Structure 1
Amino acid sequence: MQKFVLYAVMITSFIGALVGSGINVALPSIGQEFMAGAGDLSRVASAYLFGSAIFTLPLGKAADILGRKKLYKIGIIFFSITLIIGGFAQSVEFLFGIRFIQGGLMAMVFGPGMAVLVSVYDKSMRGKILGYSTAAVYVGLTCGPAIGGFICHYIGWRWFFYLTGAIAASGLIFLLQVKEEWYGDRNEKFDIKGSLCYMVTAPLLLYGFSEISQTQYGLYLFFAGILGLIIFVLQERKAQFPMLDVGLFIGNKAFSFSNLAALLHYAATFAISFLISLYLQVVCGLTAPEAGSILLLQFMMMALLSPKAGSLSDRIEPGKVASVGMAINCVCLWMLSCLDDSSSVVLVGGILIGIGIGFALFASPNNNAIMSAINPKYYGTASSLLATMRIIGQAISMAIVTIVLDVNEVRSITGADNDMLLYAMQIIYRIFALVCLFGVFASLARNKQEELDN
């Protein structure tokens, strides 16, 4: 049973990452077909994240009550269907909508996935198994740019959606072999008020932040989201069966700062592949397959080293390993901010290798620290919260890109605005380096990890 759960989680982790990274290489072709600008394309990339951010936490709690495997299976089925539908998009607006729906459905996989995996393996193997799951994510990230680039170049971007939909459906083969079901507490009632409050608050925060530079209402929406967040916390503190037990954060520095570190790390690093793809294709004039091959270097290092980093975190305090990884990425982001139109492609590749090493050292040890800091009853909540931190961080990353591109009036990706595009990228990388620096401090702030007995 253990191996079937592992295979199923690895496949869905792989395809979720592949869909997220592969679309970045296809975006220039999508933009040309639909006459869409850089801002519109960044919103297409963000829509998937927005949908996931809104639904992951509520669905993770629902999985604890209704059954983690059940929701996991439903998510795979409908995610596969919507991927295929995405290939028939006739406008950038339709593509934005279907990507949002895909993100919501993938939340049914993000939330329960890690909880199911941790439930079937002994805690002495937790870091190693999470390392394999993380490696599957990075293999997806590795294959995404290469597969996306070749598919886009030779048979068209629409086939990226058709083929990934078919691969996603294959995850059911292993999941159907698993008969056992896992729950957190079947006797709890679903927190409808808290869930609705969160589902309103999350888009207000994310969309408001991303639209600050576009409309006068962006700032108002953002502050409305902050108010909603305060109301949500107050609601959860008094709820009998809260969607998110805020007590998990009180007196548990390892759990709290590990989640904060995850948020900051993904906010600082997620948009790298999007920006490098634009840089290589628009500024350097490379083809989509060539750009995808260079991006492959980062994700290859992530895939190769994640299991090793996970195993290392079973022997060494996970927070220390994760902090080293975060620091490496901080340095690499600052190096990216120094690139110009005459920079060597070899230099770009070397920096991407460094980012891959840093990412591997951070992700699975940080996941191990989070899952080791709570009682098994809360595995579903912790898994969903970690996924939410990752997704919100990714959405913030793309929002920063959108804001800086808009402020610098980068409207075209055809080469007409190359000087402004390059300047905007340099600003974005410096912002990301600063965010990553704060992440290093957050990662170091957690106390020595003390695992809870199962």
Structure 2
Amino acid sequence: MQSYILYSVMITSFVGAFVGSGINVALPAIGQEFGAGAGDLSRVSSAFLFGSAIFALPFGKVADILGRKKIYRLGAVFFSITLIIGGFSQSVEFLSGVRFLQGALMAMVFGPGTAMLVSVYDQSMRGRILGYSTAAVYVGLTCGPVIGGLICYYIGWRWFFYLAGGLASIGLIFLYQVKEEWYGDRGASFDYKGSLLYMAMVPLILYGLSEMSKQAIGVYLLIAGIICMIIFVVQERRTAQPMLDVGLFVGNRAFSFSNLAALMHYAATFAVTFLMSLYLQVVCGLTAPEAGGVLLLQFIVMAMLSPKAGILSDRIAPGKVASVGMAINCICLFVLSTLNEDSSLFLVGGILMAVGVGYALFTSPNNNAIMGAIDNRFYGIASSLLATMRLIGQAVSMAIVTIVIDVNEVKSLSGADNDGLLVAMAIIYRIFAGICLLGIWASLARNRDGEKQI
């Protein structure tokens, strides 16, 4: 039974990451077929992120109430179906809607999948298993642009969705061998008020962050989102059976600071791939395949080391391992801020590999620290909260990039504004390094009273 769940979660995690990264390669062909502009195509890409972020916590709670396997299986089934439907899209608007649904359905998989894994494996193996799951994500991120590009080039972008849907369905074969069910809060009532506040809060914050550098309404939306967040916290504290028990954060340093560290880590590192892609192609003059080959170094290291980092966190306090990973990335970000048009590609490749080491040492152990800081009845909501931290951190990371590039008035990516682009990138990387410093503090702070291990 354990192996069936692991195989199913790894396959679904791979496909989710594969589709998320590979869609960017397919966008030019999609835009050409539908006559869509950059704005329309960006919505195709971001719709998945919005769908996942909006529904992550509500579905995590539903899974705890109705059964984690049941919700996971339902999400995986319809995720596979919507992938295939995406291949039949006849307009960019329809495809954006399907991508939003795919993100929402993956939210049904994120939390319950991790919760089932840590429920069926012994505590001594938790880091190892989470490492395998994380490695599957990184392999998906690595293969997405490469395999996706080949599929789009030789047989068309629609087959990217068809084949991904078929692969996702294989994970269901393993899941249907599992007969047991797991609950976190069986029979509890669902917190509709809290859920609605959360589902309003997240898109307001995410869209506000993405638009605040372009138009004033972005700032107002962000403020509205923060107000909704405050009301959400008040509502959850007053509710007898809340969607998110804010008491989890009170007196539990390991859980609180591990989630904060995750938010900061993704905010500081997510945009590195985007920035390095610009640097390698615009500043260094590499072709897209050449730049992709350099960027692959980071993801290969991440995929190779994540299981080993997970095993290490079973032997050493996971928060300490994660802190080392955060520190490595902090140093790497500062070094990246010193790059110029004459920097050696060997140096760039070496830094990206070091980022991969830091990423691997942080992610699996930090996930282990979070899941080890709570009772098993909270596994579903905790893993969904971790997914939310990741998604919001990613949005913050890209918002920082957009704001700094706009402030520095980088208008052209043809090479004419290379000086301005390098200045903007140096500022961004130093901001990211500063966030990483705060992340190191958060990561170390959880260890002051020891890490709770269940």
TM-score, structure 2 normalization: 0.92
CA contact (8 A) 1:148 1:292 kept: no
What's 1:148 paired with? 148
CA contact (8 A) 2:259 2:386 kept: yes
Cα drift, residue 18 of structure 1: 1.7
What's 1:169 paired with? 169
Work out whether 1:233 is the aligned partner of 2:233: yes
* Separation in 2, partners of 1:312, 1:334: 27
* Matched residue SS, 2:205: helix
* Separation in 1, partners of 2:168, 2:185: 29
CA contact (8 A) 1:145 1:295 kept: no
What's 1:441 paired with? 441
* Separation in 1, partners of 2:261, 2:358: 14
Farther off after superposition, 342-351 or 155-164: 155-164
Q: After superposition, where does 1:2-401 map in structure 2 within 5 Å? A: 2-27=2-27, 34=35, 36-37=37-38, 44-88=44-88, 93-401=93-401
* Separation in 2, partners of 1:57, 1:410: 37
* Residues matched between the structures, number: 452
CA contact (8 A) 2:8 2:175 kept: yes
CA contact (8 A) 1:25 1:274 kept: no
Cα drift, residue 293 of structure 1: 2.3
TM-score, structure 1 normalization: 0.92
- Look up the equivalent residue of 2:23 and give its one-letter code: I
Cα drift, residue 276 of structure 1: 2.5
Closer/same/farther in 2, CA of residues 47 and 411 from structure 1, 3 Å limit: farther
Cα drift, residue 171 of structure 1: 1.2
- Look up the equivalent residue of 2:442 and give its one-letter code: A
- Look up the equivalent residue of 1:444 and give its one-letter code: L
Cα drift, residue 27 of structure 1: 4.9
Cα drift, residue 144 of structure 1: 2.1
* Separation in 1, partners of 2:276, 2:5: 35
* Separation in 2, partners of 1:26, 1:355: 27
Cα drift, residue 383 of structure 1: 1.0
* Matched residue SS, 1:55: helix
Q: What is the identity percentage for the equivalent residue pairs of Structure 1 and Structure 2?
A: 74
Farther off after superposition, 343-352 or 368-377: 343-352
| Contiguous gaps of at least 5 residues in structure 2 | none
Closer/same/farther in 2, CA of residues 371 and 174 from structure 1, 3 Å limit: same
* Separation in 1, partners of 2:248, 2:425: 38
CA contact (8 A) 1:42 1:402 kept: no
* Separation in 2, partners of 1:259, 1:240: 24
RMSD (CA atoms): 2.4
Closer/same/farther in 2, CA of residues 217 and 161 from structure 1, 3 Å limit: same
* Matched residue SS, 1:444: helix
Cα drift, residue 196 of structure 1: 0.4
Cα drift, residue 132 of structure 1: 1.2
* Separation in 2, partners of 1:57, 1:64: 11
Q: Deviations over 1:130-176 (max 9, x none)?
A: 11111111111222232234334544544433332222222111111
* Matched residue SS, 1:171: helix
* Separation in 1, partners of 2:28, 2:278: 8
Closer/same/farther in 2, CA of residues 363 and 341 from structure 1, 3 Å limit: same
CA contact (8 A) 1:17 1:141 kept: yes
